[in-house]
Chain A
Amino acid sequence: MSATESAKTGADPSHSATQDAATVQRGASGEKEFVQVHCSTVRFAGDSGDGMQVVGSQFADIASMTGLVVCTQPDYPSEIRAPAGSLGGVSGFQLSFADHEVHTPGDSPYVLIAMNPAALKVNLREVQPGGILVVNEDEFNETNLAKAGYAANPLTSGELSAYRVIPVAMTRMNEEAVRHLQLPRKDAARCKNFFALGLSLWLYDRPIQPVLEYLIKKFRKSLSIMAANGASLRAGYNYANTAELFHVQHTVAAAKLPKGRYRRVTGNEAAALGLVAAGYRAGRTLVYASYPITPASEILHELSKYKDYDVRTLQVEDEIAACVGAIGASFAGAIGVTGTSGPGLALKVEGMGLAVMTELPMVIFDVQRAGPSTGMPTKTEQSDLLMAVHGRHGEAPLAVLAAATPADCFAMAFEAVRLATKYMTPVIVLSDSFLSNGAEPWRIVDPDDLPDLHTPAIPSPEQFAPYRRDPITLARPWVSPGTPGCEHRIGGLEKTDITGAVSYDALNHQRMVNVRAEKIERIASDIPPAIVKGSGKADLLVVSWGSTYGSVAAAVSGLQEAGRSVDHLHLRYLNPFPANLGSLLKPYKKILVPENSMGQLCMLLRAKYLVDAQSLAKVEGRPFRVNELIKLIGDFLTVM
């Protein structure tokens, strides 16, 4: 997809911001009373052993299957095994679903399902005022309250008066629901997440049948567990119905989406699939060399499953080996790819310089996280932009792309391979922690509809010279070992133009620096132009890049609908910038650049285009919220 082209994003701010509060229709269908909403956000929270990720994903799948646009974001505890019931052990899964295109998992939940006091404590401040708290009251005993740091039981202390609290005896009712199966106590207790799922599916008028089908597939080998989870799910659903827990059901109409088959993908899954697809379309082996690092490791995990797709994954000894191993693979004619996060990108810097000098295709996936140093490994940030664009010794330009949404990681991974192989250059793709774990619907592509990535036929030995360039792209020929008659040597030393022989000649060096820069610049005319969403002549242009796309697009379109004079431009190509960017920026008196960094894109725009760009910086380890941006951009409009 082209993020810049997807116009309908976020709709009016009341949808994405206040969500369920925006009741548009109240009615009755048969005996059911329902409230129709455009968009809602739910968070499941419990102990890390409570299965919150499972039921969150199930809810997301069912919402997707019933036609909604769904974005999800897990929130794992940072400790591997924090003590049960402790604040550090709370695991969450948030999802937003809508009848229109959205690209954020929602600002704040309208419904919080809290399986214990710690889950309530950790997540309460995020919940919308007036929102619904579904709590497992059975777990609000003295021990658990103490572990969560509650002096008094919040269910009775009155401190939750701003919310609609719905206490449910989930533990006991689950036990009853599965009693007939005579499971060991522990196994029986573990089903209560499906009780919670049943409740929430009723609340949003979603069918439970697909969950039962999932259980049949998942627990084929353990019929009693399958039956128990199913029984618990039904019990939860029925209880919500008969006990009139929520007074009304909420319903969201199906979204109007482009036709096709869809699935949900996380950013890292999409990246892996995009790379596999690119290898397939290039007709080359894909070699992914990597060192485990949060939050990029899933790309390695995913790709290591695909051995039957001509994909070779190398888990190597360090980040440097990963980078130069990918370069070696590219020299040998494979598509060399490495993936990492900030600390690893720093270690790959020297290797990337080698790839620039040897003009070999290579892709570096940087799933950014909060830095510097070890920083906050599980938290998101966009602060590697300047390192990606400029962070090498010597004059070492390369292409830099950034995915806008989880599903866009597929497109950008593919695009990176296209540019790398066409221009014989390393390409960095910037993703981040937020995109890597977040999931959204992706319209499945037919790989044969994707661009053909085969490189031009290699020259005959008589015609061949390692640095004889294509006159249009300035790419040198990609001739790998095994090709008779074209034996040649390349390396990190400066090359003589055309012959590739080592050269310390002054004028040759200037010429080669120029040509390497020119080659990257030429990419600008081979990428989609930037698009302004809006009038093109508003008082303010908001420029975003990377994962802030979802919230910035929603915020700006909200402001536009409220009559404010503001346009939006989102960048997926950071180096080179799209060829038309300068002329698009020029008419604006003011430009505002919201980023999860201290203003790195803002600096690049000012430096390159001499425009009055202002930074809206946020480095809290989490993305902008839509409401937050509406306020910040609105305030900026008022005072500017």
Chain B
Amino acid sequence: MKTKIFFIIASLLLPFGMKLAASEPYSLSFYLEYRKLAEGERKISATAKYKPDRFWEVIQGMKVEFYYLNEEGDEVLLADGITDEKGTASILIDPEYPLYRNEEGLIEFVARTEETEKYELAEEWLSIRDIYLEMKLIEDGDERTIELHAEVLDENGELVPLSDEDIYFSVPRMFSKLPLGEETLEDGFCSITFPANIVGNAEREVTILAEIFEHYEFGTVQASKVSTWGKLGSPHLIEHPSRELWTPVAPLWMIITLIVLLVGVWGHYIYAIVQLVLIRKAGTRFEREQQV
């Protein structure tokens, strides 16, 4: 019997054990994203995916090394990162960190994964032209304007006004960005009126964000400022709240159902306890009769 049970378990486990068998390493989908944050830090993110079956799946826990190219064209290690549950590894570069710009004024980055038994080596290059965004908040009576100045570093290393690029203005909220509008740069300048109905925090503070999105040459570049232009939010007070799942008072059907169920069940319990009392009384009576 023991042998039979052993064989049954072994045969059940066999197909799963076959998963461990070695196979060809997967080639990867590997891409880089560049983001220049409002504080001037540069964030480079590398995402690795592979396709075991019909769908791409992210790779978690993979080491990625990030480099930049120096004036000799050699790779200089910036840092390494481990991919998270989204398959992305990121590094932050300090604004003061000296990065070499080539003769075209571009900063060149390289990211590379490790070659393993499961995955092939993957490598990606990124050339970025540095731009600078500066936001100004102008208040004139009731009129509030956000001004944005944009300059780009040309091949001679000089700052020149940037034109014909779209700037997206928004206010970051808890789950997403609340769009304020979109403007195009003209001679390094654009502006937008701040709406009067944006709710701020208790100090009326609102963070305003201006961005160039995923540009082929600049990547994503942000500028932001905290204004005190927000409206004070008022608590949503309702004198007689309706009966909903999310209001303090429950829907009637729910209260009725609960009461009916509880009365039904506890009614039976009380009945059972009363019966026990009656059983005891009947016992007392029986004992008295026996004594007589």
Does A associate with B in a complex? no
